[in-house]
A and B are shown apart, each in its own frame.
Chain A
Amino acid sequence: MSGLTILHVEDDPEAARAVAEQLRRAGDEVEWTGTGEDGLRRAAAGDHDLIILDRMLPDLSGIELVGRLRDVGVAVPVLMLSALGRSGDRTEGLDAGVDDYLAKPYEPAELIARVRALHRRAAGAPHSAVLLFGDLECHLKARTAYRQGRHLALSPKEFTLFRYLMENAGEVVTRDMLLRHVWNLNFDPQTNVIDVNVGRLRRKLEEGFDRPVLETVWGTGFRLVTR
């Protein structure tokens, strides 16, 4: 994926520097502003692929900013990056029209993965019936999965998980992303349930085939790959 143009609204310069550094290293362009009003103006005027928004800004809360942005018809995906990271805070943010919510402190890889997934979802083909990646097929309507034309027997939950990985094929998907999009949870359980569920799916995707397709990205998450 080529680099994205990202608007970052954040009043803490040190935090802003860190975000900019991480995103630039991933190949993106970052435009930074320290106030909500200025952020709102630039967001409305500019042509950004994505907006990263702090929640507690001195002049305008991130929640208000999103509301006003949506009111004037700006549909650019917004990732809220906030020091308020409790379950209720996340729900509040998402209810206000934010597309994704990440709590500080975060893993840089998590931020990059969320940014990629968010942009892909906003830019992706909306109504394709079949997702294709390498020798994998995901038939959305029939809810069936194939590899090399061979049918894979997945449970309904495994299919949802497979579909989410396919939607983000080639990109890293983190545990938090899977919890939110597959199991609808915005906190992570203490038991390592995600790794076990992904392990199950991996066996079904790889057993009887000579090449692995679902790799674990150490410390971050999982990724579908072709080689």
Chain B
Amino acid sequence: MKTVARSLYGRLTAAIALVALAATLALALAAELAIRDARDGNLARMVDTDLAGLADIYASGGREELAARIRDRLALSEGGADAPHYLVADASGRPLGGDLDRWPPLSAENSEAGFVATAAGERMFARATQLGPDLRLVVGREYRSWDALAARVRNVLLLSGAVIAALIVAFGNLAASRLQRRVSGINAAYQAVERGEFDRRAPGADRSDELGQLAAHANRMLMRIEAVVRAHRDISDHVAHELRTPLMHLDNRLLRLVERAEGGETSALLASARGDIRHIIRMLDSLLDISASEARRGDTSGLEPVDLSALVTNLAELYADTASDLGIRFDTDIAPDIQLCGDPMHLSRMITNLLDNAFKFGGADGGRIRLSLSSGPRLEVADDGPGIPEDMRERIFERFQRLPAQNGHGHGLGLALARAIAARHGLALRVADAGPGAHFIVEREDQP
């Protein structure tokens, strides 16, 4: 079972929450910039109006009047939020009036404006101007209330961003787990069918949303798979039965003729005809076994734990005497306690087909056949016969493929059946070069 974090929905929820968070951050940044812009314009207007008023007062009332008005303004604004600051100074910068004690780094001749520090170390916006040849004036204003406003807006936005992201995660997970339950139901149905429970169906197919449609599609597909599997089984049984019955009648009649023939050429012909009947049936069974194994690939129903070591040892013993009679060196190397979940009879069939093949082609006097089983499991059957040309190494596993040297021996289905049985057990059968000779290897499909 997948966790929410690793599933599609977890990632989707996380992505949406991140986007919400990023959008809130962008919003906070934009608000900050707008507030700063408004503040700058407002400060410039206030400072410039104040400056122009004071310049008028100086022009009409002279230096004393100016100093008096500055004192009035300072007294009036004491304790206010955005306090004004003033400095009247002579040409050398020596303070003559106002609350600032030092000329700020602003040029009076150019009426320069800018952000500078007050005597107390606060930030303010100020403009300097030249009132007379020996008289300069600076008017400044603090803007703490603007910064407080910006901070409040920022906090509100960031907090609501965090709340929105948290809500998205919470609701997203809720929705995700419900969606996941429905998708898991569909997945479970597929897995059950893969295991061989062909009658399992996905839940929620009666709902009209997309997942309901998906479940309905899945169910139609699974129903068809079930029908195909059943049809395959029925056809196999019927083909076997319907073909075997007339062949059996034919065989019975031939047998009655054999009993009357009293030897000679007729008997030999009849025996050969009966041999052909057996050949046809053997071929038919192999073909049905191949298609049944292929159809049940990956289906683990009906498989049981098999002691592969014991099974291979039993077959090695069966073939050992034949090898020594034929003058073949038969080496076996079977590791103990190797288990596999499988069908023991089919696995035996796969191994005997490989051994039959080795004895048929690598089985010359003085030859050598090697049978080994190691963990994995990995089964190998190697001979030192003529081997298999590189371009034939895949084709020999096809039905009715024979090597040119085979001259019509066998029915050309042994290796195809061996490969189909291997695949049914999640194993892969391939052939490698034993240099010289053929080297068949059976191992797990995911091996390189």
Given contacts A186-B345, A189-B352, contact A15 B252 (CB under 8 A): yes
Q: Which residue of A lies closest to B317 (CB)?
A: A157
Instruction: Bits for A104-119, please: 1 = Cβ < 8 Å to B, else 0.
Output: 1100100000000000
Q: Tell me if B360 counts as interface (CB < 8 A to partner A).
A: yes
Question: A197 is contacted by which of B247, B288, B321 (Cβ under 8 Å)?
Answer: B321
Q: Tell me if B143 counts as interface (CB < 8 A to partner A).
A: no
Question: A185 is contacted by which of B251, B252, B345, B359 (Cβ under 8 Å)?
Answer: B345
Q: Tell me if B200 counts as interface (CB < 8 A to partner A).
A: no
Question: B360 is contacted by which of A14, A186, A190 (Cβ under 8 Å)?
Answer: A190
Are the CB atoms of A86 and B241 closer together than 8 Å? Answer: no
CB contacts between A and B, total, < 8 Å: 100
Instruction: Bits for B341-367, please: 1 = Cβ < 8 Å to A, else 0.
Output: 001011011001101100110000000
**B315 partner residues in chain A, CB cutoff 8 A:** 183
Chain B's nearest CB lies how many Å from the CB of A171?
Answer: 21
Are the CB atoms of A84 and B346 closer together than 8 Å? Answer: no
Q: Tell me if B337 counts as interface (CB < 8 A to partner A).
A: no
Are the CB atoms of B241 and A191 closer together than 8 Å? Answer: no
Instruction: Bits for A168-194, please: 1 = Cβ < 8 Å to B, else 0.
Output: 000000000000000111110111110
Inter-chain CA distance A193–B355, complex, in Å, is: 11
Inter-chain CA distance A145–B255, complex, in Å, is: 39
**A105 partner residues in chain B, CB cutoff 8 A:** 244, 247-248, 251-252, 277-278, 281
Are the CB atoms of A104 and B317 closer together than 8 Å? Answer: no
Q: Tell me if B171 counts as interface (CB < 8 A to partner A).
A: no
Chain B's nearest CB lies how many Å from the CB of A12?
Answer: 7
Are the CB atoms of A12 and B245 closer together than 8 Å? Answer: yes
Given contacts A14-B249, A18-B252, contact A185 B281 (CB under 8 A): no
Q: Tell me if A196 counts as interface (CB < 8 A to partner B).
A: yes
Are the CB atoms of B321 and A15 closer together than 8 Å? Answer: no
Chain A's nearest CB lies how many Å from the CB of B270?
Answer: 13
Instruction: Bits for A67-94, please: 1 = Cβ < 8 Å to B, else 0.
Output: 0000000000000000111111011000
**A185 partner residues in chain B, CB cutoff 8 A:** 345, 348, 352
Q: Tell me if B235 counts as interface (CB < 8 A to partner A).
A: no
Inter-chain CA distance A199–B356, complex, in Å, is: 19
Inter-chain CA distance A197–B359, complex, in Å, is: 16
Q: Which residue of B lies closest to A192 (CB)?
A: B322
Q: Which residue of B lies closest to A201 (CB)?
A: B321
Q: Which residue of B lies closest to A179 (CB)?
A: B318
Are the CB atoms of A104 and B248 closer together than 8 Å? Answer: yes
Are the CB atoms of A191 and B322 closer together than 8 Å? Answer: yes
Q: Which residue of B lies closest to A81 (CB)?
A: B248
Are the CB atoms of B321 and A184 closer together than 8 Å? Answer: no
Question: A88 is contacted by which of B292, B317, B410 (Cβ under 8 Å)?
Answer: B292
Inter-chain CA distance A186–B349, complex, in Å, is: 9
**A85 partner residues in chain B, CB cutoff 8 A:** 240, 244, 281, 285
Inter-chain CA distance A91–B278, complex, in Å, is: 21
Are the CB atoms of A189 and B356 closer together than 8 Å? Answer: yes
Inter-chain CA distance A104–B249, complex, in Å, is: 10
Are the CB atoms of B244 and A86 closer together than 8 Å? Answer: no
A1-52, CB < 8 A from B = 12, 14-15, 18
Chain A's nearest CB lies how many Å from the CB of B420?
Answer: 13
Q: Tell me if B65 counts as interface (CB < 8 A to partner A).
A: no
Inter-chain CA distance A99–B360, complex, in Å, is: 34
Q: Tell me if A200 counts as interface (CB < 8 A to partner B).
A: yes
**A184 partner residues in chain B, CB cutoff 8 A:** 314, 348
Q: Which residue of A lies closest to B243 (CB)?
A: A83
B274-297, CB < 8 A from A = 277-278, 281, 285, 288-289, 292
Q: Tell me if B97 counts as interface (CB < 8 A to partner A).
A: no
**A193 partner residues in chain B, CB cutoff 8 A:** 318-319, 321-322
Question: A86 is contacted by which of B240, B248, B319, B360 (Cβ under 8 Å)?
Answer: B240
Are the CB atoms of B345 and A187 closer together than 8 Å? Answer: yes
Q: Which residue of A lies closest to B356 (CB)?
A: A190
Q: Tell me if A165 counts as interface (CB < 8 A to partner B).
A: no
Question: B346 is contacted by which of A14, A87, A192, A196 (Cβ under 8 Å)?
Answer: A87
Are the CB atoms of B245 and A83 closer together than 8 Å? Answer: yes
Inter-chain CA distance A24–B278, complex, in Å, is: 25
B315-349, CB < 8 A from A = 315, 317-319, 321-322, 325, 343, 345-346, 348-349
Q: Tell me if B237 counts as interface (CB < 8 A to partner A).
A: yes
Q: Tell me if A166 counts as interface (CB < 8 A to partner B).
A: no
Inter-chain CA distance A192–B355, complex, in Å, is: 12
B220-237, CB < 8 A from A = 237
Are the CB atoms of A15 and B314 closer together than 8 Å? Answer: no
Given contacts A184-B314, A191-B322, A192-B322, contact A87 B241 (CB under 8 A): no
Given contacts A14-B249, A105-B252, contact A183 B318 (CB under 8 A): yes
Q: Which residue of B lies closest to A155 (CB)?
A: B317
Residue from B288, B319, B321 whose CB has the most chain A CB atoms within 10 Å: B321
Given contacts A105-B281, A191-B319, A191-B359, contact A87 B289 (CB under 8 A): yes
Are the CB atoms of A196 and B348 closer together than 8 Å? Answer: no
Inter-chain CA distance A187–B321, complex, in Å, is: 19
Residue from A155, A193, A196 whose CB has the most chain B CB atoms within 10 Å: A193
Inter-chain CA distance A186–B344, complex, in Å, is: 11
**B322 partner residues in chain A, CB cutoff 8 A:** 191-193, 196-197
**B348 partner residues in chain A, CB cutoff 8 A:** 184-185, 187
**A87 partner residues in chain B, CB cutoff 8 A:** 289, 345-346, 349
Q: Which residue of A lies closest to B252 (CB)?
A: A18
Chain A's nearest CB lies how many Å from the CB of B386?
Answer: 18
**A90 partner residues in chain B, CB cutoff 8 A:** 345
Q: Tell me if A60 counts as interface (CB < 8 A to partner B).
A: no
Given contacts A83-B244, A85-B244, A87-B289, contact A191 B356 (CB under 8 A): yes
16 contacts across the A-B interface (CB closer than 8 A): A83-B244, A83-B248, A86-B288, A103-B244, A105-B248, A105-B252, A183-B314, A185-B348, A189-B356, A190-B352, A191-B319, A192-B322, A193-B318, A196-B325, A197-B318, A197-B322
Apart from A87-B345, A183-B314, 4 more pairs, CB < 8 Å:
A83-B240, A105-B278, A184-B314, A199-B321
Give the 10 A-B CB pairs with smallest separation, nearest first: A83-B244, A105-B251, A190-B356, A105-B248, A189-B352, A196-B322, A104-B248, A83-B241, A18-B252, A196-B321
